[in-house]
Chains A and B, each alone.
Chain A
Amino acid sequence: MTLFKVLAFSLVILLSYTLFANILPQVQSDPPPEEEPIAPEGMDVAGLVAWGETLFSGKGTCTLCHNDLGRAPDILALDLGTVFGERLADPRYTGKAKGLEGAEAVRAYVEESMVEPSAYVVAGFGKKGTGDKVSPMPAVNAAPILLSDTEMDALTAFLQSRAGVDVTVPLPVAAEEAIAEAEEEEEGPAETAQAALEKFACSACHDLEGSEAEVGPKLGGLGARIGRDGVREAILDPNATVAEGFEPDMMPGDLGAQMRVSELELIVDYLMALPASGAQE
């Protein structure tokens, strides 16, 4: 009889452990997703910095150590502008950022810290017993963190922005875009006016080919008003004459450098033939 009581008591103990385990905060840790969740094409500086910020507490797992518990410098709480200066001024620092200034110094220092953490260890944060020569930080481009070059750029951009300097890392370009650009260059000049307009994205700002864009003035009847030379000048030197109601410095000023003469002539021909606005509506 006592045996049954003992077994029942053991069961009660077991159930209490199970209950305890179930009432604690439940956290499921998933493996990181396979693809990069943020598409890098068309990303601007602000987007890059924001991406860096999510990586800092996400895939980069930086906040695991870089927090207020004292294992690593609490990056988010520090005034990075001053701190980076102090790091580089430290006589112990002999790394890649030595001798650089401003944004480039920050970039070099951050990139070095990410892939070669033991190049310079902040005093007091080295592995116990190594005299601050060996860092306990893993290289972020190696396993298990495995950040890509683009992701590391995003983190660098984030830290540059927190340090109050310019972001000097290149913006990410999607692989397909890079390939497409390479292909286009091999293709040669645009063969038709429409192709040329597309190549230089004229309809992004001007209402052409049904784009209804209103960033720049309507171009109907332009040729009749200012003539062929005027149209050419409007393309090559947009700030020479700015249309009424529009601001200067809006249109790219380097189209002359980008366009081939054949492409320019195609566009000028097209615009000369463009009927006046009234007919377009």
Chain B
Amino acid sequence: MIGRRHSVFWAFVLAVLVGLVPEFASAAEPEALLQPTRADYPAIAGVSSRTVVWGLAQMHLFLAAFVLAVPLFVLCIELAGVLTREARYDDMAHEFMKISMAAYSFTALAGGGLTIALFLFYPNLMDFMMRVFRGQTLIYAALFGLESICLYVYYYSWDALRYGDRKWFHMSIGVVLNMVGLGLLFIANAWTAFMMSPAGVDPSGAITGTVWEATRNPLWNPLNLHRFLANIAYGGAIVGAYAAYRFLSVRTAAERAHYDWMGYTSNIIAVCGFLPLPFAGYWLMAEIYSYSQQMGITAMGGVLAWLFIIQAVLIGTILLAANYYLWCGLGRTERGAHYAPYVKYIAVVLVGGFLVWVTPHSIILTPQEVQMLGGTTHKFLGPLGIMPAKNIAVNLMLVFTFLSFQMFYRSSRTPTVSWAKAGNAVIVALYIAGCLNIVAAGIYGYLTPTVYKVGASVPQVATTLSIIVFAAAIDGFMLRGARKTDVHWGRMSARSQYALFVLPVAFTWLMALMGYIRSSLRTHWHVYTVMKDASPEAYIPTIGEAGNTITLITLMFMALIVFIFWLSQLGATKQQAPVAGSAAGEAAP
């Protein structure tokens, strides 16, 4: 009989082996690359090659992010179910997997379509990429097979491996599934990052390094971290939408309570994944600057600068939606009402921070407008457009989002430890000191040269992280053995569910926007500094064009997701057998 510890151990060993296999050295090709000319790009039926590839790539990314993220938090929830011995965790984890299964085949479909489109429209680029990454592409294909096996086994064995040692074995399958998923993510990221910061090739395109060197290019790990975290946040947002969808459709109080709780959990997952994202994004940006200052400046100070203002709008939407949902959730407990008056202060900080973040530094003005304004930047609002102000805003927004979450968490728990009052004083002092530090570091940025200004953003990030970690830790101790008051799951207004829908909508648009930025950073290169883009569509499209394309893709994805939700619900519907004498039986709800 496989003991629980053994199965987890072997799962881990297998996962490590799977992870180590991909990178082996092979012979280098010292010939220079033949740059494609315009004639080398197939023109098919007047179709815009770039838009087709863009659409398929984005759909694949949305679906893949979802399908990779869900098993990550499902495993955690499954574990929580084992540790707390509460069946509701296991049931929710099982239901999340069900949604993921329906999405899986569409992910493969989009991926297949993307591959065909890439080889069809960009044969020279793909030829080069295949020569750089050689055997790794076969590993990738094999991993897909392994992922399918693990996924199907993990899902279909759920009830068969439900308790005791068998449950641990089931979770080991989950570990392998996640390792394989991460392997797929990391390999795909290597190719994407390679196109931005190539390694293992010389400036003429000759392949001089091993596959591992090409994989381990400068932007690989920052991209890995960023996408890993973003996937979790995104997965949480989408299952939250599913919970909202079901919450609004079910009839019984028990089901409403179930889906309300699911929505709450999804929101937590989304927020937990979301909070560290700006830091990962900062690291990615810093690595981009480090690799090529030109690329960095194109992103933040050049053509693409305005996009980060749109990003600010989207992230503001996401934070406001997540917080609004938490505030509505305060209504589930009696104690929650106690915290309700504080909500307006949090709202002020969030909205204020959002407005600061959205303010641009320089605006494009006609000469008359420059004269009226007295310069190219606004006297008072202009300074809000540069980094120190933005960083104050972002960090405070994150701190206060965490505060919303902490308030909600406490609303159903009354501390019983003797030092509760002192503990609260310590936490309040932490928040105040931290916020003061964030503001001070921001003001510092105005008084110091550029290198120090940029450097001051790291202490701000560290402050936010400190607040989160210490506040959570103190609460962890303080709420030990706390008196739990009843949480009336299901007692949520329908309005609150809007927030759970807005979250993935904004997230989806944001991901597509980030993809547009990532691609545009390469300007007119397929592989930056190595392979020029000589196609007719080598230009960076305007934000308006991009926005329109992104909205269309987002709409397609939303339609697909609603279809997937409907499918997973359909799967649970059973038509009742007709009773003798009556017409064909009615469908059971």
Contacts and interface: CB of A to CB of B under 8 A. Distances in A.
B49 to A, nearest CB: 16
A34 B376 CA distance: 34
B368 interface: no
A180 interface: no
A29 interface: yes
Contact of B539 (A17, A28, A137): A28
Chain B contact residues (Cβ within 8 angstroms of A): what range?
Answer: 35 or more
Interface string A40-67: 0000000000000000000001001100
B505 A138 contact: no
Contacts of A258: none
A15 B506 contact: no
Nearest to A31: B524
Nearest to B544: A22
B450 A69 contact: yes
Contacts of A71: 293, 297, 450
Interface string A112-146: 00000000000010011000000011100011110
Contacts of B539: 28-31
A21 B546 contact: yes
A127 B291 CA distance: 11
Contacts of B301: 64, 69
A136 B302 CA distance: 17
Interface stretch (B131-139, B154-162, B307-315): B307-315
Interface stretch (A1-9, A219-227, A233-241): A1-9
Contacts of B249: 3
A10 interface: yes
A61 B494 CA distance: 54
Contact of B203 (A2, A26, A142): A142
A6 B497 contact: yes
Interface in B269-324: 289-290, 292-294, 297-298, 301-303, 306, 309-310, 313-314, 317
B297 A18 contact: no
Contacts of B290: 127
B79 interface: no
Given A6-B498, A128-B455, A143-B530, A20 B310 contact: yes
Nearest to B535: A31
Interface string A59-102: 00100110001110000000000000000000000000000000
A175 interface: no
A71 B454 CA distance: 11
Contacts of A174: none
A24 B364 CA distance: 9
A259 to B, nearest CB: 47
A195 interface: no
A5 to B, nearest CB: 8
B502 A10 contact: yes
A21 B544 contact: yes
Contact of B505 (A13, A18, A25, A32): A13
Interface centre among B297, B306, B538 (most CB of A within 10 A): B297
Most chain A beta-carbon neighbours within 10 Å: one of B293, B314, B449, B533? B293
Contacts of A2: 248, 494, 497
B547 A18 contact: yes
B565 to A, nearest CB: 10
A5 B248 CA distance: 11
Contact of B548 (A18, A32, A65): A18
Contact of B451 (A69, A128, A138): A128
Contact of B310 (A9, A17, A136, A137): A17
A14 interface: yes
A8 to B, nearest CB: 10
B244 interface: yes
B303 A29 contact: yes
B538 A31 contact: yes
A9 B523 CA distance: 35
Contacts of A65: 293-294, 297
A184 B551 CA distance: 64
- Among the interface residues A5, A6, A32, which one has the most CB atoms of the partner chain B within 10 A? A6
B551 A20 contact: no
Contact of A31 (B523, B541, B546, B550): B523
Contacts of A142: 203, 529
A13 B506 contact: yes
A5 B502 CA distance: 12
A279 interface: no
Given A24-B309, A143-B529, A10 B546 contact: no
Nearest to B520: A29
A26 B547 CA distance: 11
B245 interface: yes
B547 A144 contact: no
Most chain B beta-carbon neighbours within 10 Å: one of A15, A21, A70: A21
B313 A20 contact: yes
Given A28-B541, A70-B450, A17 B525 contact: no
Given A6-B248, A71-B450, A138-B294, A22 B548 contact: yes
A27 interface: yes
Given A21-B310, A24-B543, A124-B449, A15 B551 contact: yes
A26 B542 contact: yes
Contacts of B303: 27, 29
A14 B555 contact: yes
B554 A14 contact: yes
Nearest to B454: A128
Contacts of A145: 294
B533 A144 contact: no
A30 B542 CA distance: 10
B97 to A, nearest CB: 24
Interface in B445-465: 449-451, 455
Interface in B506-534: 506, 509, 520, 523-525, 528-530, 532-533
A137 B551 contact: no
B360 to A, nearest CB: 9
Contact of B313 (A10, A15, A17): A17
A29 B530 CA distance: 19
Given A21-B310, A31-B532, A142-B203, 8 more contacts: A2-B494, A10-B505, A14-B555, A31-B538, A32-B524, A64-B294, A71-B297, A71-B450
16 contacts: A10-B558, A14-B555, A17-B313, A20-B310, A20-B313, A21-B544, A24-B544, A28-B539, A28-B540, A29-B303, A30-B524, A31-B533, A65-B297, A70-B450, A71-B293, A144-B529
Nearest 7 Cβ contacts at the A-B interface: A21-B547, A31-B524, A143-B529, A70-B450, A29-B540, A22-B544, A26-B542
